[in-house]
Structures are given as structure tokens and as C-alpha cells.
């Protein structure tokens, strides 16, 4: 949406609030709570850039890249963007398979999981994502490990 349309809408919204109860703090940022991780990461463009870099890192990573030899990479990237966007509070719907059905039978081991997380962290560092946001994101992905790793 164009910025001036947003400003116009905000003005109309505040006007209605003033009529109802007075705009004051009700319309300010103070009452809106902390920004979602999605917003703090920089929204969909930033998440897309991190996923591109991350998948590029995986492709160069001799520890795990053969795993993705027959994978439709653009489709995988799309699913990863939607998954991260949705998990961090963004306006996306993840339409891929659940983590257990996706990875079942791949016999993925612990070291491979660690390798993939390292490739993600490297991508986050490339874009200078702060430690707090990195930890929050990894905290959302960590619980998926038990559905993905089959070999300790």
C-alpha cells in the first residue's frame, strides 16, 4: 500500500477515535506492544534475502549439500520464507508439509542438523541480524529438531 494512503487511513482512524474517546495515547505506538520478530527482522524482503543466502550456503556446504541434489530449490526457498514469516508472527501461511512427514526416512543425523543451523547463522550474520533476534529465531526452529533428526 502507498504510504500516503496509510497516512490518510491513520488520520481517519484517529479522527474516529477522537470522536469516540479522544485519540491521545490510544492511537500512539505506546499501546501497541513490542514489535513482532517478523517486523524486527525486517519483514518479508529481509527474510527472503536471508533464506536466499542460507540456501546458497547449504549448496556450498559439502557436509549436507548432496541431500538437496534432487530438490526443487525455488520451491524449497518459497516454503522456507513462508515458514519463517509465519513462525515469527508475519502475515504468511505456510503451505508445505509438516516437518515430520517432510523429513521422515531421510535418516538425518545430529551433525547434519548442526551443519544446517550453522549455515543459517552464517546467513543471519551476513545480514548483521542482532544476536537477540538470531536467538529468538533459533528458539523457534529448535523444537522442530525432534521431528527432523532420526539418527542421534
In angstroms, give the least distance from the CB of 112 to ligand HEM: 4
79 interacts with ligand HEM by CB under 6 A = yes
In angstroms, give the least distance from the CB of 131 to ligand HEM: 19
Using CA atoms, how far apart are residues 125 and 129, in angstroms rounded to an integer? 6
110 interacts with ligand HEM by CB under 6 A = no
112 interacts with ligand HEM by CB under 6 A = yes
C-beta separation of 103 from 148 below 8 A: yes
C-beta separation of 100 from 147 below 8 A: yes
57-62: list long-range contacts, CB under 8 Å, 24+ apart.
Answer: 57/119, 57/120, 57/122, 57/123, 58/116, 58/119, 61/115, 61/119
Q: Between residues 9 and 100, which has the closer beta carbon with respect to ligand HEM?
A: 100
Q: Between residues 92 and 148, which has the closer beta carbon with respect to ligand HEM?
A: 148
Among positions 2-61, residues that touch ligand HEM (CB under 6 A) are none
Amino acid at each position: 500500500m502507498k504510504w500516503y494512503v496509510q497516512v490518510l487511513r491513520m488520520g481517519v482512524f484517529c479522527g474516529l477515535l477522537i470522536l469516540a474517546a479522544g485519540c491521545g495515547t490510544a492511537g500512539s505506538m505506546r499501546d501497541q506492544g513490542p514489535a513482532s520478530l517478523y517486523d524486527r527482522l525486517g519483514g518479508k524482503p529481509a527474510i527472503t534475502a536471508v533464506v536466499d543466502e542460507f540456501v546458497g550456503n547449504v549448496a556450498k556446504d559439502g557436509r549436507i549439500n548432496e541431500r538437496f541434489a534432487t530438490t526443487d530449490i525455488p520451491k524449497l526457498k518459497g516454503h522456507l520464507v513462508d515458514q519463517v514469516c509465519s513462525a515469527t508472527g508475519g502475515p504468511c501461511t505456510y503451505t508445505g508439509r509438516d516437518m515430520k512427514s517432510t523429513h521422515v526416512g531421510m535418516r538425518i543425523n545430529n551433525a547434519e542438523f548442526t551443519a544446517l543451523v550453522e549455515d543459517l547463522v552464517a546467513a543471519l550474520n551476513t545480514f548483521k541480524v542482532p544476536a537477540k533476534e538470531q536467538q529468538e529465531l533459533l528458539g523457534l526452529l529448535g523444537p522442530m529438531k525432534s521431528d527432523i533428526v532420526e539418527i542421534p
